[in-house]
Every structure is written in structure tokens, then in C-alpha cells.
Amino acid sequence: MKNLFLIFVFILTGCLILSADTEKEIKAGIKHVTVYPDRAQLNHETTVEIPAGKTLLRLGQLSPYIDAQSIQVKGYGNFLILSVNHRNNYLQNLEESPEVKNIRNQIDVLQMKVEDERAAISVLKEKEAFLVANRGILVKETTFTIEQMKSVMDLYTNNMEQVTTTILRKNRLIRDYEKQITTLQKQIADMIGRLQLPSGEIEVAVSSDKPVSGRFTFSYVVSNAGWFPSYDIRVDDITKPVALFYKANLFQNSGVDWKDVKLSFSNATPWVSGNVPVLYPWFIDFYNPPAIMIRGTTLGAKRSEAPMQAEMALMDNKMEVREAEAVLVDVEKKVGETTITFDITLPYTIPSDGKVQTIEIQRTTTPAEYKYFTVPKLSPLAYLTGNITDWAKQSLISGEATLYFENTFAGKSFLNVNQLTDTLTVSLGTDNSILIKREKRQDFTSKRMLGANKTETYSFLLIVRNNKDNLVRITVKDQIPVSSNSGINVEAIELSGGRHNSQTGEVKWDLEIKPQETRQLILTYSVRYPKEKTIILE
């Protein structure tokens, strides 16, 4: 009976072992990263030897910021994928980066040096104590001649001096080593935060009738990563085209370094719902006052609201990276139906430190129509602008621009592409070769009263001088007041041919000024209003 029971236990245990899943840790390097403005899609690839039966494959050391709904696993081979699961393993932290390991090694070396110096100081202290103890014995119990005493004192002094100097030098070395250790510890403290993060894991359950070799691709989206555009706009001369350098500023703090990966920058926004918004009926009714509580009774009407829910749909972006050719091709631009992607042909390593890395993704030369603008009332400067007509073909995104005019830094600007016009106006900074001045003509400025009204007249002289060697086209803008009261009458007296917009009060002159030419414009207007009233015009 006992033997039958043991046989039953062995059979049951064998069945449980056969039915249990075989767990297998796998590694899959990051091959390709598609960076969106506010997140990134990572793609892994690996080959796995799958045994017969059910096997649980576990891909670890991943980012803890994975969007579980975005995970896609594809397998190629004679096997079945039973399930895909995601979890964060809080018992296993992310692997230390080589930089952190290197700093730890430096700290260990310095700490060993400190120990060696302190051990040496201990030996020297013993020698010092021995010298002091024997000095008293020698002086007390021994009779010396003057020459012998002098020799003993010289021996003692030299040894004590050597011991004291050596101890002092070693203490200084220890302080220096400890200072270096403190600096390295501060440096590692800045990098150590991500080491406390859990390790992301993707578990794939597969089944196979026989041992096979399978190829797997993993794709998922992580947060704490993204990119934003910036531009270098260069104009060597207003007779030449605009050179536009399009740059992607990449950052990532996902907890995992991207080592030697192919990068793609996309302007897609996968976190925005792809569903067409639903326009619900707009019901209106008479206004009902807020409910009033009277002895526990609520007076008023209730309103019901129908919440609107939005789904996030993540598209499966398949990026086909072209191998680098013999010719110099750094970036390949792909224009889709709704998105634009820049594929970088060379691999990059992006550490998970949150620091921004700038990568040039496009360089174009575009013909432009150059024109100057000035508003003398607000600024005595002439601002150069370039009007680009084919800007929509360049796949630009609004961003900060650094301006270089005539091979000199000209300042910062902002490239705004969110405009419904065929021409993109790019600000190129100021030009000191064009002088602007606005001054009041005192002889033509007056205040007088006639009957019940007061009339104030103001006159200004606008001076524009072109010190350049070529003709420039410039638009000069100024203004006169706009009346918002029937009792106030504004009249334009002299505008030197300027166009006056009566709705906004803007006065504009479009001028062509020859080299070394000075042009003068006169702006004169009057304001009449009741004399008992007050208007602030200056």
C-alpha cells in the first residue's frame, strides 16, 4: 500500500512538472527608436531558441514608463504566441550604466588610497611615540659628552622632523582624496536616481510542438522622451537665398540608455484621439437660479451631463531605414498621408540623463523676397524679413530660430508656421546700416481753442537713411489716433503719400531707397474735442 502511494505521488509530481511553463530570460537590443514630440516608440529584435511545449519568455531591463496598451509583439517561426503581458518588477532595479560603474571604481580606488595613508600614519605615530619615550630614558640614565649629546639631539631632531613632515604630507593627501571622493559621490548621486526605478518586463507565452528557432520583434511607447525643433537661419546677403538649418533637439529620461540605435523623428501625435469629434445637440433653456436650501428641501432643477470619452489609438509605425550609400546622405525624409518622418541613417547613443542632444535633420536653401520693416514710434531700428513662398514643402514645425546675417549672429527669433498663408515671413533681425529717426516738429505742433472745442495738432518728421551699397525696400509704419466717441474728431492733415487705415489708424509707407539716400516723411494730424473734456495724446 505504501509503495502504491509513493508511485502515485511520483506520477502526480511528474504531471505537474510537465504541465508547468518553462521560463526563459531573453535579451533583445533596441534597434530603432521613433521619437515623437512628447514620447518615443522603441523597437527591439532578437532570435530565441524555443523548446518543445509551453515556454514563458521574459524580456527584462526595460523602461518602467512603458504604455502597456502600446505593446506589440510579433513572432516569426513555427510556434504560437499564446499571450503577452507587461509588468514592472520592483524587486529588480535597472542595471547600472557604465558611467556609474566607472565612478564607483574611482571611489573604491580613492578609498583604498585613504586606507593606505592612514595605515602609514599609524606606523609613523608609533615611531614618534618610540622616539619621545627613548629620549627621556637616554637623557636620564646616560652620561654624554657634549659631542655625543649633540649627535643624539641631531638624530632625534632629524627623525622627529622626518616623521612630522611625512604625517603632515599624508594628512594633506587624505584630505585631497576625500575631497575627490565627495565630488564623485555628488556626481553619482545625480545619476543614481534612475537606479532605484523598477525594471519593466514583457512576458510572452509561446507554444511549440518541437524545438524551433524563432525571431521576435517588440514595439512599445515610453514617456519621458521627445523632441522639439529649432532652426539656424543664415543670410549672407539680401541678394542670395535663405539657408535654413532644421535641427531636432532630442531628450530622453526613460531609465534605459539607447545604445547605437537608428533614430527617426516624427511630427505625429499618437496620444491625440484619431476619432472624429461628435457634435452633440446644443440645448438651450431659460436661466434657472441656483438651488436654495429651505429646511432640508432643495429648490431648483437638476441638469444631466453626458460625458464624452476619447480613445487613444496608437498606429503601428513601420520604419524602413535605408542603408547608408556611398554618397553623403545623412537623413531620409518620408512624407505620409498625415505625418512626416526624418530617418537618421547613422546610429546614435542617447543616454538616459534628460540632457538635450541636437541633431541636424534638414538643410535647405530657399529663394526669398527680402524686405525691411520699421516702426519709428516704437523702435529706431530697421528689421529685415524674408518672405518664403514654398515653405509648406519643407515640413517645418514652429520653433525657436537663431539668426545669422552677413555671417554674424543677429539674435533670436521664433519661426511660426501655424499660419494660413502661402508666404512664410521669417524675421532676420535688425540692420544697423539703415538709420531711422522720428522727431516732433515743434513749429507745427499746437493747441488752440475755438468756441466750445479744443484742437490739438501734432506733427512728426520721420527720417530713413540707407547706408548700404544696394537699394533696399522698406515699409515704414506709424499711426494716428482712432476716435471711439462721436464727440472726438480726428483728422489726418499730412501723410506724405502714406496709406491710412481709418479702422486701425495705421499709416504705412512702402519705400525704395537708393544707396546713401535719405528719405523724409511727414505725419501730421489734429484732434478736436470739447474743451471741458480731457484727452491724453502724449
Residues 6+ apart with CB under 8 A from 318: none
- Residue 13: what are its φ and ψ, rounded to 5°? -65, -40
pLDDT band of residue 327 (cuts 50, 70, 90) is: very low
pLDDT band of residue 144 (cuts 50, 70, 90) is: low
Residue 496 near residue 523 (C-beta atoms within 8 A): yes
pLDDT at 497: 93
* 3 state DSSP class of 392: helix
* 3 state DSSP class of 196: helix
Tell me the residue ranges of DSSP E strands in 288-382: 292-294, 297-299, 331-335, 340-344, 348-350, 357-366, 369-374
Residues 6+ apart with CB under 8 A from 531: 449, 452, 453, 454
Tens-place pLDDT, residues 361-414: 888 888 888 889 999 999 999 998 888 877 767 778 888 888 888 788 878 878
Q: How far apart are CA 155 and CA 140, in angstroms?
A: 17
Single-letter amino acid code for the residue at 248 = A
Confidence check: pLDDT of 74 > 90: yes
Confidence check: pLDDT of 8 > 60: no
Q: pTM higher than 0.75, yes or no?
A: no
User: Where is 12: in which H helix or E strand?
Assistant: helix 2-19
Paired with 408 in beta bridges are 405
Confidence check: pLDDT of 18 > 50: no
User: Where is 85: in which H helix or E strand?
Assistant: strand 80-93
pLDDT at 96: 60
pLDDT band of residue 167 (cuts 50, 70, 90) is: confident
Residue 45 near residue 228 (C-beta atoms within 8 A): no
Q: How far apart are CA 63 and CA 253, in angstroms?
A: 9
Q: How far apart are CA 134 and CA 146, in angstroms?
A: 19
Of 434, 455, 443, 432, whose CA–CA distance to 533 is shortest? 455
- What are the DSSP calls for 395-464, one per residue? ----EEEEEEETTEEEEEEEE-----SSSEEEEEEE-TTEEEEEEE-GGG-EEEEETTEEEEEEEEEEEE
Q: How far apart are CA 43 and CA 398, in angstroms?
A: 28
| Helix, strand, coil share of the chain (percent; to 5) | 20, 45, 35
Residue 506 near residue 477 (C-beta atoms within 8 A): yes
With the C-alpha atoms ordered 199, 83, 27, 330, is the resulting torsion angle positive or negative? negative
Residue 206 near residue 82 (C-beta atoms within 8 A): yes
**How far, in Å, are 159, 400, 430 from residue 411 at the CA level?**
68, 11, 9
Work out the number of other CB atoms within 10 angstroms of the CB of residue 50.
22
